[in-house]
Structure 1
């Protein structure tokens, strides 16, 4: 199945889209300059998209449009305390080649997950590895381009 989509948060902020025009209007194109905007092709059942989107696509036909509202438990889950990790400031500074991370910066863990630095002091750095969209209800406007 091939589709176009635009994803929004509750406050109408667009966080993702396959449409270049939407990306340019909303500033996403500036934030992700290397991204290519093109229809997405997914195999239903292959878990390539979040559970709520996959469930919402079942049964849609070519040319149909649908608005899918997906609660956190069918998207990226709720934020969990165990995804917030603490590091000794000195230790992390050494791992980063002598730099002290700043609040708001993003670090990549060895497993590839990204975390936001949420606290820095002399002793401790706290990094939040929860998915960026954890706890969010997501709304996707989808248009089915092709059903194969």
Structure 2
């Protein structure tokens, strides 16, 4: 039994493995944008009591995670901690100007406000980023597009 546990701890994460990780996701300026760790959320001032803070479980290489995160955990062992620096092209892509549109206020039947989230009939989701007297801007880029992401990751469990 002890030998079996040692073997499990020495196993490295591979594509196809089910892995559970704790993580803290930050922007390059240190701003925390997401975490699975309750204490980190409290420290960052983003704690949400409705959220269950627990390790994130996913299948490595199955496309459930951004590429840089998927690739970054490969080779890690249970208990190992690592900092992943993920460029935009391996995260949510570069910011694309063509996904931001200026629309006349009189073309819609609501009053647009900065921060308002909208969805198109095709399911694209955007956020209103600017409002003027006659127009407003809706941005369909992912909120993390164009950003390098820093993840502090710890492998909690691994199933081959």
Equivalent residue, structure 1, for 2:139: 128
Equivalent residue, structure 1, for 2:35: 17
Deviates more, 1:80-89 or 1:57-66: 80-89
Deviates more, 1:106-115 or 1:72-81: 106-115
Equivalent residue, structure 2, for 1:39: 55
Give the count of matched residue pairs.
141
- 1:24 alignment partner, SS class: helix
Looking at structure 1, the residues matched to 94 and 107 of structure 2 have their Cα atoms a distance apart, in angstroms, of 29
Aligned residue among 105, 108, 118 for 2:116: 105
User: What is the TM-score when the length of structure 2 is the normalising length?
Assistant: 0.80
Looking at structure 2, the residues matched to 145 and 13 of structure 1 have their Cα atoms a distance apart, in angstroms, of 24
User: What is the TM-score when the length of structure 1 is the normalising length?
Assistant: 0.86
**Structure 2: runs of 5 or more not aligned:** 1-18
Q: Which has the larger radius of gyration?
A: 2
**Structure 1: runs of 5 or more not aligned:** none
- List aligned pairs for 1:1-148, cutoff 5 A: 1-30=19-48, 33-92=49-108, 94=109, 99-148=110-159
**CA RMSD, Structure 1 to Structure 2 (Å):** 1.6
